[in-house]
Structure formats: structure tokens, C-alpha cells
Chains A and B, each alone.
Chain A
Amino acid sequence: MKRLEFKKSIKLRWKIISSCTMFGFKESMAYSLNNWGNLLSMIVYMITYLIFLDVLFGRVKMIAGYGYTEMLFFTLIVQINYYLLFIITQVNTERLDTSINTGELDLWLVKPVPALWFVSFRKINLGELLFGAFPATIPLLVILSGKWSVLNMSFGGVMAGIIFIILGQIIIHCFVFMIAMTAFFTGEGKHARNVGVELSIFGDSIPLEGYPKFLKYIGLTIVPFLVHTALAVSFFLGKNTNYYYLVYVFGLAVFFLWLKTVAWKFSLKHYSSASS
């Protein structure tokens, strides 16, 4: 009986995520001019950043032990993680904030959906992926295309790197979401949410090896900004082969998922709902 209920629960969650993804895609396509504008701005940003990197490496050979090609690869992972964070976490925390503020959340809390799962994945902005992430990454991929052999990648390192990206996204999603839940108590949490997002991309500036010890410690524990990008790239490029990190980060992900659930239940208990 319990196994049946578990299967039913998984099926419902999968249904919610797939329906919301389709729904979110339709919503993002509703205003086509907006998408083209976004695409243009992303491409301009990427080109500007690549020029910056080119100029920087005209003056220095290494940054924190990473050469030019390695930094390009680091930038690629930063981009992938940034867009994953944006389309899954940022959009949904923004929606959560608005729906708490306006009281629209009430209408979703009375629907037969696992509420936390639903608000976490209510909108998966595939439109952003299509019109923002992918095109903006093309210039980077073009530059990297002839240079893959320079990178010191092994199968184990690549697998570990992918796992760290996935687990890191889960961890950082929980982190940002918990900060966004302050809206339950304050009525609105735009600035708190922005702090959460800024902290989550704090580790996107320099590789793991460039951070001082205390920041490394913080970034791999209580404010986990180093897992999804810096740690992942370190493994991708063979700079780090301590596979103990896999166990540690898995444990960290489970901890943050648990903490997110606890925070949600606590927040709902103190939810006062916007007045009608």
C-alpha cells in the first residue's frame, strides 16, 4: 500500500513538473518581442565578457592556476549554472514572493498538489533556455571548439563534475528558496531574495583554488556558493580528485532538502495571507 502511494506521489510530481514546464514555456512565448530583446542582450553580454577575458589573458598567463582555455571552460560552466539557477530557482522564488504579497498563493495552497514541489517548479522557463542560454553560449562554444584537447579531463572527473552541478543546483535552489520564504513573515521579500541570488553566484567569479581557506569553508557549507560551479569545474579539469567530496556534497544536498521542507512547514504555520 505504501509502495503504491509512493509511486502515485512520484507520478503526480512528475506530472506537475512536466505540465508546469509546458505551461511556463507557453507563458514565456506569449510576448515574442520580449524574447528577441532578451536574446540580443545576452549575446552582447557574452561577447563583451569574452573580450574582457581575452584582454586579461593578454596580460597574465594564469588565474588561480587556470589557463585561458580552462577559464573559458570555467565560464561555460558558470553560464550553464547561471541559466539553470535562473530558469528553475530565480523565476519560481520571484513568483512565490509575488503570490505571497498578492494572496494568489491561497488559490494554489487549496489545490491538491504537493505545495512545496509545485511552488518550486511552477514555472520552468524553457523560453529563456531557448532565447537566452543557448544562443548566448554559442560564441563561447565556437572559441572552445578547437581547444578541448588542451583540457585535462578524465571520465571520472567529468562524471563527478556533472554530479556536482546537479547536486549543487539542488543545494543552491534550497538555499535561495529558504531566503525567499522570509516573504511569509515580512509580506514581501524582493531584496532578501536578491541577496540569496547574489550569494548563489558569488562563486562564479574565480575558480575554487583562488579562494582563501575561510571563504572556501563557508562556500562549501553554510552558504554553498562553491559547489555547483567552482567545485564542479575543479573536478572536470582534474584539479581535484578527492572523491570524498561526492559523499559530502550528497549529504549536504540531503541536509538542505530537509531544511527546506522544515522551513516551508514553519512558514506555512505562520502564514497570515494577504487580506481580501
Chain B
Amino acid sequence: MEKIIEVKNLSKKFKVPVKQGFVRSIFIPKNKEIVAVDNISFTVERGEAVAFLGPNGAGKTTTLKMLTGLLYPTSGSVKVLETIPVERKYTFLRKIALVMGNKSGLSWDLSARQSFDLFESIYDLDHQEAMKTVGYLAEILEVSKSLDLPIRKLSLGQRLKMELIGAILHSPEIVFLDEPTLGLDVVAKRNIREFLRKTNKEKGTTIILTSHDMADIEKVCNRVIVINHGKIMFDDAIGKLTGRYRGRKYLTLIFTEEVAQEEVEKYGKVIDKKPLTYTIEVAGDEQAKVIAAVSENLPIDDIDITHVPLDEIMADMFGKR
């Protein structure tokens, strides 16, 4: 498969001012260096859907910005579609798109359709084709009726959907998304995930996504790059990440009557507690024994078995340096 993103020993450092007295800060300013991205390397093949996962300040967005040419790397090399992004060549920019969940590229005072007219000019698109694409995308994202409303009158979910339409109007080869479902409700998130999955599968568009929402990662991407403190901690299929934790299982025990926590703790570590429900963690090879014992000794109504959730895996990983 064709490699369209190649990153080698990439680093990015920022200088930030050190807090001093007012006079000192003017005449003898001091700066300290923050390492946002620390010597990372990876490649992405055409058609992949890759997620960057990590806690706040991990370096995900900084990496994304270097891939799109917004930031100059401090050291190392990055090539996207055989171009150095910071050169910002027309042919390169024509093939990529960037969507940022908390930033808007559409005019606040005008309708989305009017903004798309501007994009149509910028991307030199055929008017009929562009309108057809807008109509099609708006229908999939269920925002056809909102195309002619001013952006300021749309909900957050609708606005983001319009941003997505504006971003992929020109059929880019790679779509970079930074927290695309930030602040959205469950239904809107589901719509957007389905849309991204469809775009990836049907059009072969490469998706690079950063998110804190594990469902974004699980539903849209097949590969995850975990970044923490600027370094890559994991880079492989999501299945292999969850596979590492296969030795542990979560049992959700639903009781017919109240049971004391001490009784439940005899069978495993209590992770979560709700009325009549406990979730415990057990070793994978002991789950059958535990289920049998719990069923015999406690007033069980139902038992649910799950793998360790992705957010628990992340919390575990981010706890380590």
C-alpha cells in the first residue's frame, strides 16, 4: 500500500516565558523550552483511518499541525503526499482538509451555503458539481434544512456538520480532524462517526483524527497511535491495544436485592457501584470460577461480561510515563 504520510524523528519545542517580576520580564525576559513532540516516527498508508489518542497536552494537535504545515518542526522530517507540508504548495493544500472541533472556518453572519460559494471559488469547483455534493452531504448529515440559515443560528452539532461539508467539498485525499465531536450530543456524534466511516470506506479518504472520545476511535478508526508527553507509547491496530488487556475482564453483577460491598469484594476488585449493580475486575482465566461462585452465593439477577474498556486502558497507560 502507498505510504502517504512519513514522519521521521519529528520534534517540536516551544519557548514560553517564565513568570518573573514586571520590570525583569520587560528588560531581562526569560524563556523556558517545552517539548511538545519528542522524536516521533510513524507512517500512514493511503485509505487508513488513524486516531491520535492521548491526554491533554500530549502533543496530538501539535503533531496534526505539523502534518498540515501549520507549524514548522523543530527537528526531524515530515512528508505528506510526497510534499513537505510547510512549503504549503497549492497541489498539496488542494488534497487535504482540516476540521477543528472548536474553530470555525465559516462566516458567522452568513449561511453555510454562502460560505460554500466562497469555497467553491477558492477550490475552483464546477458550480453544478459543488451544489450536488453539498446536497448529498447535507442529506447524509441531516442538515439540508439548515443550509440557508445564518451560522450563528445553528446548534453546535449543525455547525460542525457544516464545517465537515465545507472541509470535504473538494474531495480531499486526506482529512485531518482535531476533536471533531467535541461538545456534541450522542446523536450528532453518531451521525458524524458514521459519516467519517462511510467517507473512509467508500471514497478511500485517509482519516487522521485526534479525540478524547473513545467511541470516536473505536467507531471510526482501525489504528491508534497513543501519544503521551510527546512520545509515541503505542502504534498499532485497536484490537492489539485491547488485546494487551485481554487477561482482565469486567463483570457487571446485577442483583435482585441490596448486597454489601464487602461481600462482592470477596470475588474481585470493585470498579463501579450503582443501586443493585456492581462492576468488578477479575483475571480472565478465573472469570468462569467467579461467575459460578457469585451465582451460587449471591442473589444474582444478571451478569454482563466485557473487556476492559478503552478509556480504562488509556487511563492505565497515561498513568505511566
| Chain A residues at the B interface, C-beta cutoff of 8 Å | 12, 15-16, 18-20, 23, 26-27, 30-31, 102-104, 106-113, 115, 269, 271-273, 275-276
Contacts and interface: CB of A to CB of B under 8 A. Distances in A.
Contact of A106 (B70, B88, B107): B70
Contacts of A12: 124
Nearest to B61: A276
A109 B69 contact: yes
Interface string B66-80: 001111100000000
A110 B70 CA distance: 7
B234 to A, nearest CB: 22
A30 B108 CA distance: 10
A5 B107 CA distance: 31
A262 B100 CA distance: 29
Contact of A110 (B96, B107, B117): B96
A26 to B, nearest CB: 6
Contact of B100 (A30, A103, A269, A272): A103
B100 A107 contact: yes
10 contacts: A15-B124, A104-B103, A106-B68, A106-B100, A107-B98, A111-B93, A112-B94, A115-B88, A276-B100, A276-B178
A103 B150 CA distance: 21
A276 B102 contact: yes
Interface in B57-111: 61, 65, 68-72, 88, 90, 93-94, 96-98, 100-105, 107, 109-110
B25 to A, nearest CB: 13
B42 interface: no
B235 interface: no
A23 B122 CA distance: 12
Given A27-B109, A110-B68, A111-B119, 10 more contacts: A19-B121, A19-B122, A106-B68, A107-B104, A110-B69, A112-B123, A113-B93, A271-B70, A273-B70, A276-B179
Interface of B: 14, 61, 65, 68-72, 88, 90, 93-94, 96-98, 100-105, 107, 109-110, 114, 117-119, 121-124, 150, 176, 178-179
Contacts of B96: 110
Contact of A276 (B101, B109, B122): B101
Contacts of A16: 121-122
B60 to A, nearest CB: 9
Nearest to A11: B124
B34 to A, nearest CB: 10
Nearest to A106: B70
A20 B98 CA distance: 21
Contacts of B97: 110
B153 to A, nearest CB: 12
B65 A106 contact: yes
Contacts of B101: 276
Nearest to A16: B122
A27 B151 CA distance: 12
Contacts of B122: 15-16, 19, 111-113
A126 B260 CA distance: 73
A39 B139 CA distance: 42
Nearest to A23: B118
A20 B179 CA distance: 29
Contact of B14 (A19, A111, A113, A272): A272
A271 B96 CA distance: 20
Contacts of B100: 103, 106-107, 276
B246 to A, nearest CB: 34
B114 A110 contact: no
Nearest to B65: A273
B168 to A, nearest CB: 13
A273 B203 CA distance: 31
Query: Which one of A12, A111, A271 has the highest number of Cβ atoms from chain B below 10 Å of its Cβ?
Result: A111
Nearest to A31: B109
A106 to B, nearest CB: 5
B112 to A, nearest CB: 13
Contact of B150 (A30, A106, A108, A110): A30
A109 B88 contact: yes
Contacts of A113: 93, 122
Contacts of B114: 23, 26
Report the 4 A-B pairs with minimum CB-CB distance, sorted nearest first.
A107-B105, A112-B93, A19-B121, A30-B109
B118 A271 contact: no
B319 to A, nearest CB: 23
